[in-house]
Chains A and B, each alone.
Chain A
Amino acid sequence: MEATFSILIGLFFAVSVYLVMSRQIVRILLGIGILGNAVNLLIFTSGRLTREVPPVIPPEAVTPLEATANPLPQALILTAIVISFSFFAFLLVLAFRAYQELGTDDANEMRVAEPVGDAAPPQGY
């Protein structure tokens, strides 16, 4: 079961990395969105898979009565989802504003910080 998931997660990684390496901002953003899912699934699977039983203790018990899904990766992923979403939202707005200011969606043409043919630093003291 985990092995099949591994293959699917490999696909997630491959697609997201391929998208992130493009020049267009939109595709980079799509890639980052998928990268978050890839990592979350990676964490989820490495904690092993259990079908359908959520880690919830029944009202009358002190500990779970049967084997449940692993709660630890779930807690980690819950945090990760929220953080990756806020990161995604920030990148989105940043990309949008960059497009407004620079008039291009090509990452290679966004060179305000590192302009082409930047002058060499001065050779004095």
Chain B
Amino acid sequence: MPLFGPEATLFAVLAPFVAAIFAPAVTRHLKHNAAWVLAIVPAVVFLHFAGLAGLVAQGAVFAPSTDWAPSYGLTLSFYIDGLSSLFALLISGIGTFIVLYSGGYLKGHPHQGRFFSFIFMFMGSMLGLVTADNLITLFVFWELTSITSFLLIGFDHLRMASRRAALQALVVTGGGGLALLAGFLLIMGLTGEANMSAVLASGDLLRESGAYPVVFLLVLGGAFTKSAQFPFHFWLPNAMEAPTPVSAYLHSATMVKAGVYLLMRVQPVLGDTELWTFVLPLFGGTTLIVGTLLAVRQTDLKLMLAYTTVASLGLLVMLTGTSIDKAIEGAALYLFAHSLFKGALFMVAGTIDHEAGTRDITRLGGLRKAMPITFAAACLAGLSMSGLPPFIGFIAKEYLYEGIWGEGGASALLTATAVVGNALMLVIAAAVALRPFTGVKVETPKHAHEGPILLIAGPVVLSILGLLFALTAHWTGETLIGPTVGSILGEAHALNLHLMPTHIGAPLFLSLITIALGVALYLRLDALRHAMFRLLQAIGWGPDKGFDQAIAGIVSLSTGVTRIVQGGRLQVYLVLTFAVTALALLVPPALTGSWPQVPSVPDFRFYEWTVLAIAAAGLVAVLTARTRLTAIVSLGIQGFAVALIFMLFGAPDLSFTQFMVETLSVVILALVMTRLNLAPRDHRRVVHRVFDGAIAIAIGFGFGALLMQITELPFDSKLSDFFAEYSRAIAHGRNIVNVIIVDFRGFDTLGEISVVMVTGLAVLALIRVRPRRQREDVAPATEQPVKPAIKHKEAAS
């Protein structure tokens, strides 16, 4: 069936882009209800990947491919295994509800259509990223997600905070993307493969290569910036300037997991080395603790969730970095659980903001009566986030504890980190799910009531799914998580998932400790927040501030450099240009010592010497002329001398044209310049004149020497002979020069005529523009000679 076959994957990835084109038009007609129509697209894409996922679960791997730019070895090839199908399902499934949610959230917004368009573009890019097989294709989609994220964060572009956040996200993730590109190119060079599937089959090749640390760091540069790992975490909370559907979709459920996806993807070939198992847990663990502590400090619902997202990404990186089978199981489960509960919680936060007018937990309370359904969804998702049974979050926590406990080495430290992190996560989950709804009713800026169906569909379905997938744990493990773990480990992996722990062991006790610690901390949340606030004030500087300083520094630097390089004085530009030209002409022969031989006195005839002397005299006269008219006439002298030279050396056509052009030049120049009150003398200072003179002499010498050297070499007359031989035979013309111009190189002449025409138009336009200060109108005098001149010369050639 085409909808479900792997060959339809290309269309599944492209479908959101097509939807992006039509979204504004649909929205114009249907207003916010367009969401119902538009949501069909991700729903169908979801069905496509669901169909594939069923086969993937049975061990199938698909690699459909379409040629894109075959000459460069670029193909639009896709690679669908457990990992990519899980991601694709999350992207399209959650995407369906995000589209619905956007319909309600931005109801009546003048640019709702544009918003849908951006969301769809992102969806397509993200689908492409997780399914791409070719490394370059993957990179292109990777950068596309950065760009669409930029557009979405800066959606409310009239606020400076949005613009700053958008730019920050683009700079950080885009910079990381460049590192990733370099990493990919290195991988391609080392393995000789352009496709991820082939790279994955290369075994220990990359790990054993000497360039492994470089590849590792470059790939990490891409993954850490995208997945907001400490110290690149700062852009993610700032990205909360985006409308809430974006925060729920890009900055928790999907895009920020791209970095984790990448690490999981390359784990089979780059993972399980000393470097990998040291650096990843170190940064992941740090991000986990920093993220949760910063989350505690916040009172804004979205920011609390954003920082816990940073923390969760840290946890995922830490688990992936252990390269331990059980821990990877935990990571895959947690990734899945996190997308469901965090997406739901973000949408809950957005609904509260939308209906109550604020999302500051200190100004919210007692909303459970007004918003019962939202409250229920928040509780379900919050329980999953807290890692309590019977939710998918609980299973994930059990498995990850089992993975990192008792493995020796830094296992104790990792376990402690995970316990503290999870406990703090529970604190935030409880704060987000309970604070706004329980307690005494607080007056909110808007009179709060339950959100419309578009707003509550997403959180309700996602939070219930968190429960359902846990209740059907065995099925979930077999069809979704097992194949994913298999992809991350690079070998088939059977996962037998249980909701309830099969035996009473360390994980269960760790869970109990986590819950006890979390509850204890939750009861002291306000005190904890104040403590964090004071601590951060004491530190003062953070990477976010550093970003501002870096940008300001770059702007100042470029301003300074521009002031020096482009001072605005034409003379400086010209002197620099010619000085460099002179160096380019003189340095190579000086280094190689290949100067031309000293010429002997040639056997010129008397009249030839005369013409050469006239040309030289004309040149000197132009230089030394005391009045403008003398200079202009002298210009004519050297021009006519050149025309005579052409005449004497077998070029009558050139001679004729040159006479014509020189005459016109002199006439126009005299007409225009004698009417202006111009200073006659060179007003350069003597020092400048000497300096400029030296450069001019160097250039003259350089070109003379170059030409002399060229003419000393034997002449290759192949081209000229061709024209001489075929001019009459093929083109039926006796004047070879004319035949070349109008026949052999006819297109060049066409281009030349176009240039002359454009110049004529430009001259006309310049003259027609009214002078600001009315002076005597000499425009017609210059205009007339220009136009016939063009015709004359065309006739001549």
Residues of A within 8 A of B (CB): 1-15, 17-27, 29-30, 33-34, 37-38, 40-42, 44-59, 61-64, 68-72, 74-75, 77-79, 81-83, 85-90, 92-94, 96-97, 99-101, 103, 105-108, 110-111, 113-116, 118, 120-121, 123-125
User: Contact at B599–A17, with CB atoms within 8 Å?
Assistant: no
Q: When chains A and B are docked, how far (Å) is the Cα of A94 from the Cα of B648?
A: 35
Inter-chain contact A101/B771, CB cutoff 8 Å? yes
B639 touches A37 (CB 8 A): yes
Contact B650 A69 (CB under 8 A): yes
| Assembly CA distance A21 to B690 (angstroms) | 12
The reply to whether B684 and A6 form a contact with Cβ atoms under 8 Å apart is no
User: Are the C-beta atoms of A2 and B676 separated by less than 8 Å?
Assistant: no
**B649 in contact with A108 (CB, 8 Å):** no
Please list 20 pairs of residues, one from A and one from B, whose beta carbons are closer than 8 Å in the complex, sorted by A's number: A17-B578, A22-B682, A34-B622, A54-B650, A54-B653, A57-B735, A62-B728, A71-B723, A71-B737, A78-B657, A81-B661, A81-B793, A86-B760, A86-B790, A89-B763, A92-B669, A99-B678, A101-B772, A107-B570, A120-B556
Q: Who on chain B is nearest to A47 by CB? A: B720
Instruction: Find out whether the CB atom of A105 lies under 8 angstroms from the CB atom of B678.
Output: yes
A46 to B715: give the CA distance in the assembly, Å: 9
Known pairs A8-B612, A26-B678, A81-B654 / 14 extra A-B pairs, C-beta < 8 Å: A6-B596, A18-B692, A22-B692, A23-B684, A30-B632, A44-B645, A57-B727, A57-B735, A62-B729, A78-B657, A79-B741, A85-B789, A108-B570, A114-B568
Q: Are B711 and A2 in touch, CB under 8 angstroms?
A: yes
| Distance, CA A10 to CA B628, complexed state (A) | 24
Min distance, Cβ A45 to any Cβ of chain B, angstroms: 6
Whether A9 contacts B704 by the Cβ 8 Å rule is: yes
In the complex, A58 Cα to B724 Cα: how many Å? Answer: 12
Contact A15 B696 (CB under 8 A): yes
In the complex, which of the residues A8, A64, A114 contacts B616, with contact meaning CB atoms closer than 8 Å?
A8
By a beta-carbon cutoff of 8 Å, the part of chain B in contact with chain A is 160, 163-164, 167, 552, 555-556, 559, 566-571, 574-575, 578, 596, 599-600, 602-604, 612, 615-616, 619-620, 622-623, 628, 631-632, 635, 638-639, 642, 645-646, 648-654, 657-658, 661, 664-665, 668-669, 672-673, 676, 678-679, 682-684, 692-693, 695-697, 699-705, 707-708, 710-711, 715, 717, 719-720, 723-725, 727-729, 734-737, 740-741, 745, 748-749, 752, 755-756, 759-760, 762-763, 766-767, 769, 771-773, 775, 778, 782, 786, 789-790, 793-794, 796-797
A101 to B766, CA, bound (A): 12
CB atoms of A11 and B616 under 8 A apart: yes
Question: Is A124 a contact partner of B642 (Cβ separation < 8 A)?
Answer: no
A71's contact among B596, B649, B720, by CB below 8 Å, is which? B720
Q: Which residues of B contact A7 (CB under 8 A)?
A: 599, 704, 708
Q: What are the residues of chain B within 8 A of A46 when measuring CB–CB?
A: 707, 710-711
Q: How far is the CA of A104 from the CA of B685 in the complex (A)?
A: 18
From A29, A61, A96, give the contact of B782 (CB < 8 A). Answer: A96
Residues of A within 8 A of B793 (CB): 81-82, 85
Q: How many contacts A-B (CB < 8 Å)?
A: 314
For the complex of A and B, the 7 pairs showing the least CB-CB separation, nearest first, are A10-B704, A14-B700, A69-B650, A3-B599, A114-B568, A18-B696, A2-B711
Minimum C-beta distance from A113 to chain B (A): 8
| A21–B695 touching, CB < 8 Å | yes
Looking at the complex, which one of A103, A105, A113 makes contact with B773 (CB distance below 8 Å)?
A103
Q: How far is the CA of A89 from the CA of B756 in the complex (A)?
A: 10
User: B762 to chain A: which residues have CB within 8 Å?
Assistant: 90
CB distance from A22 to the nearest CB of B (A): 6
Q: How far is the CA of A28 from the CA of B312 in the complex (A)?
A: 67
Are A78 and B737 closer than 8 Å at their CB atoms?
Answer: yes
Contacts of A52 in B (CB 8 A): 648-650
